[in-house]
Amino acid sequence: MRAAVMYGAGDVRVENRPAPRIVQSADAVVRVVASCVCGSDLWPYASMPAADAGRPMGHEFLGVVEEAGADVTGLRAGDLVVAPFTYSDNTCDYCVKGLHISCRNGGRYGFDGVDGGQGEAVRVPYADGTLVKLPVEADSALLPSLLALSDVMTTGHHGAVTAGVGRGDTVLVVGDGAVGLCAVLAAHRLGAERIVLAGRHTARTDLGRDFGATDVVAERGEVGIARIRELTGGVDKVIEAVGTRPALDTALGAVLDGGTISRLGVPQYEVGPIGPGLFMRNINLTGGASPARAYIEHLLPDVLDGTITPGRVFDQTFTLDRAPDAYRAMADRQVLKALIRP
């Protein structure tokens, strides 16, 4: 089968790989209908050391079950399913708590002999625990929004939930990438009254306004913080959807004492400012990698009835063979989020 493989920074190739087959009896093989490029894929695209053995890419996909292992009871060939961005057994202590990202038996696509999502097919371990069956046809117009449940929408929702967003709240979302925009959508869905979006790409912040942002702050750094404070007087709840130190610094500058910062962007730093300053201000640091699997069924009805349309973050579709172009376009910020059709 054809699949996208990264060999180093800026070096994504589409090549032939062995067709996946059932290895464990809990596996399923899914033929991919749609996948996409994640903002987090851009970090290795910017910095991965060149390697002889490439890394199969992609962790967001939906598709049709082609074959199910002997122990798979909830799925059968022909089912349309969406995959959360990590696989999980859905039965261990962490999964039972709703923390599927920490599943004792879970893992990541593209590692440990498991295919990436940016390819024609994927062997999915713990298929019953991982995949969620979708009650639509494979040509449904809802597919982009359903694909968003794989990561960006469930991640944005994780930010809003862990930040404690509720009715009437004022919320700051730092970052106008696809996750930031989905965080706006999630905060709006949970009843936030005022949502300030910090971002400077007009096409993206315009979509943010459609998703519920009431204010957009394009300025960065101290000027941006001053503007947010001028607009709001400071905010109790911040969703940081970038992962850089400047984004965290914006969050820290805008948050009120006693407030909460939920981080959704994978930190591009190893240490951060959690010394006496943060301590004296009683700032809470929460968030992290989303347990996407825990949220899919919860958000699914709102996608099916059109209440939320997170699929709008996909602003360009590429064929699988053009995956390298998709990476380049996202890295150059020509494209917000690239959908890939095998």
**Residues at the contact surface with a second copy, assessed by CB under 8 A:** 94, 97, 99, 101-102, 162, 257-258, 263, 266-267, 269-276, 278-289, 291
The kind and range of the H/E element at 96 are: helix 93-96
Vertex 73 angle, CA 17 and 28, to 5°: 5
Closer residue to a second copy (CB): 98 or 306: 98
Cα 289 to Cα 40, 122, 155, 227, 270: the distances in Å are 11, 22, 7, 29, 16
Closer residue to a second copy (CB): 94 or 109: 94
Q: Which two tokens stand for residue 236?
A: 């109790």
In whole angstroms, how close is the CB of 247 to a second copy at the nearest point?
A: 13
In whole angstroms, how close is the CB of 258 to a second copy at the nearest point?
A: 4
Closer residue to a second copy (CB): 141 or 274: 274
Distance CA 173, CA 184 (A): 7
Closer residue to a second copy (CB): 33 or 186: 186
Say if CB 239 and CB 215 are below 8 A apart: no
Cα 270 to Cα 43, 125, 200, 247, 267: the distances in Å are 15, 31, 26, 15, 7
Sign of CA dihedral 135, 138, 143, 147: positive
Helix pair angle (202-211, 178-189), 10° resolution: 20
Vertex 216 angle, CA 215 and 221, to 5°: 125
In whole angstroms, how close is the CB of 281 to a second copy at the nearest point?
A: 7
In whole angstroms, how close is the CB of 103 to a second copy at the nearest point?
A: 10
Distance CA 183, CA 99 (A): 19
In whole angstroms, how close is the CB of 173 to a second copy at the nearest point?
A: 17
In whole angstroms, how close is the CB of 269 to a second copy at the nearest point?
A: 6
Closer residue to a second copy (CB): 101 or 185: 101
Closer residue to a second copy (CB): 129 or 265: 265
